[in-house]
Amino acid sequence: MVEVSASILSIQPENAIQTLYNLETAKIDYFHIDVMDGKFVENNTTTKMTEYCEYLNSISNLPLDVHLMVEDVESYIHSFSIFEPNIVTFHLEAGKDKEQIMKWIQMIKDKNIRVGISVKPNTNIEEIYEYLPYIHLVLVMTVEPGKGGQELILETIDKIRKLHQYIQKNGLEVDIEADGGINTNNASIITEAGANMIVSGSAIVGSDNYAEVVSRLKNKLS
Ligand code: DX5
Ligand code: ZN
């Protein structure tokens, strides 16, 4: 079964509480927390995502899937681990060398949090291979990180396929999460390529029946 991680980046602040409640009752599997620092990507969502995490910690038991689109990964690992997320994912492109990437992986593991590494659309998928034995999840960006509501970049699907084949061939246990522009029309292509987790934001939040969209995303119905 595909797991759905709902991005809360595009929810309207004025009715955030109701939206978060409606997402949970729509049977999403994770809240996807898009943390942006205004440096790694243009937008800065740090304050907004911190507030949402504080609120979610008080009203929901659903796991948090934190996606760090930041340069200073170390300080953001510290500041978001206080919300006891299930997953913390940082960008491969934020690391200056293997030593720093391995240090961040260990920092997250030491906090008993699952480790994800994300790759942007233009990053070759082979660059992640050396880290696969040490991480729980690869977040394959199917849009350029930085905002919601974009069109899925079709060329990224082949990266998911290649990654899935490599993981299978090498007997590794790593989840593949796809993120960006995913909706009920393209979810089945993404999951057939090998993703077992999908992020969806505007396709759910922009709909008038969250439960219906989540169910169709999960059941690969287009
Ligand atoms: C983009 C974020 C995505 C995005 C997904 O930088 O990482 O999680 O918010 O939203 P949609 O599904 O609207 O593309
Ligand atoms: Zn994301």
Tell me the best of 4, 5, 8, 9 to mutate to test the pocket of ligand 1, counting ligand atoms within 8 Å of each CB and taking the most.
9
Indicate which atom in ligand 1 lies nearest the CA of residue 201. Answer: 12
Residue 11 has pLDDT above 70, yes or no: yes
Amino acid found at 59: I
Tell me the best of 33, 34, 45, 66 to mutate to test the pocket of ligand 1, counting ligand atoms within 8 Å of each CB and taking the most.
34
pLDDT (mean) for 134-143: 98
Residue 221 has pLDDT above 80, yes or no: no
Indicate which atom in ligand 1 lies nearest the CA of residue 67. Answer: 7
pLDDT of 1 reads 79
pLDDT band of residue 219 (cuts 50, 70, 90) is: confident
d(CA 61, CA 40): 30
Annotation says 179 is catalytic: yes
- Whether ligand 1 lies within 6 angstroms of the CB of 148 is answered as yes
Average pLDDT, the chain: 97
Percent of the chain with pLDDT over 70: 99
25-41: pLDDT as tens digits = 999 999 999 999 999 99
- Whether ligand 1 lies within 6 angstroms of the CB of 32 is answered as yes
pLDDT (mean) for 84-108: 98
Tell me the best of 143, 151, 197, 214 to mutate to test the pocket of ligand 1, counting ligand atoms within 8 Å of each CB and taking the most.
143
- Whether ligand 1 lies within 6 angstroms of the CB of 203 is answered as yes
Q: What sign results for the dihedral spanned by CA atoms 102, 196, 53, 184?
A: positive
pLDDT band of residue 222 (cuts 50, 70, 90) is: low
pLDDT of 69 reads 98
Hey, where are the domains in the chain? Answer: 3-220
Predicted TM-score (pTM) of this structure: 0.98
- Whether ligand 1 lies within 6 angstroms of the CB of 202 is answered as yes
Indicate which atom in ligand 1 lies nearest the CA of residue 9. Answer: 9
Residue 3 has pLDDT above 90, yes or no: yes
Nearest ligand to the C-alpha of residue 9?
1
- CA-CA-CA-CA dihedral for 220, 190, 182, 155, to nearest 10: -150
pLDDT of 220 reads 62
Annotation says 34 is catalytic: yes
Tell me the CATH architecture of domain 3-220: Alpha-Beta Barrel (3.20)
